[in-house]
Amino acid sequence: MALGKNYQGQDCTLARALELVGERWTLLVVRDALYGVRRYGDFLAHLGIPRAVLSQRLQTLVDAGVLERVRYSQSPPRDEYVLTEMGRELWGPVYLLAQWGERNLSKAGPYRVFHHVTCGARIDPHGLCPSCGGRPPLEETEVRPGPGADLLRDDPVSVALRRPHRMLVPLPG
């Protein structure tokens, strides 16, 4: 999408949040980052996003402090994009929005399901673990393919996500 950037005069923090993460593709980039995607080429292949748009979104998110650009190779010089604490906090909204989509827009079963690894239980639609009753931190959360999972996509991230994967752990491995 091409979302304009300013919702001027909106006396609401939702508007400020949307100026940043409400642009087309942005929340999908963040979702991938929550899964553990860190590299330009992996975002590109997994999202099918135009290169120019990806570059611009990554830059915007880095500038805003949602992502941090970290050098992981000196030669050749290579950077990866890692979520900051501010970025990791987007897990709540992202999860609830995805659950809403699943309840209301999805015909087949869920593409992916989320488990609290320390309990083994599946996280409920509100983000709570039915076993311990708590709100599992991202580090204790695991993505698993659901019954509606698409097994045809063959980009590295999609392939890696065919088996259970701890959130934030670098993908594709």
Partner DNA sequence: TTCCGTCAGTTCATTCAATGAACCTTGGAG
Partner DNA sequence: CTCCAAGGTTCATTGAATGAACTGACGGAA
Which residues in this chain contact DNA in the complex, by CB under 7 A?
1-5, 23-25, 39-42, 48-53, 55-56, 58, 75-80
Q: Maximum CA pair distance of the chain? A: 48
Helix H or strand E segment including 95: helix 91-105
* Residue 135 contacts its own copies per CB under 8 A: yes
For the CB of residue 173, give the shortest distance to its own copies in the complex, in Å. 18
Per-residue contact string for residues 85-104; x = within reach of its own copies by CB under 8 A: -x--xx-xxx-xxxxxxxxx
For the CB of residue 139, give the shortest distance to its own copies in the complex, in Å. 18
* Residue 164 contacts its own copies per CB under 8 A: no
Q: Which two tokens stand for residue 154?
A: 């063959």
Place of tokens 């639609």: 125
For the CB of residue 63, give the shortest distance to DNA in the complex, in Å. 13
* Residue 117 contacts its own copies per CB under 8 A: no
Q: Which two tokens stand for residue 25?
A: 């593709």
Residues forming beta bridges with residue 166, ordered by sequence position = 142
- For residue 33, give the nearest of 63, 54, 3, 5 by alpha carbon: 54
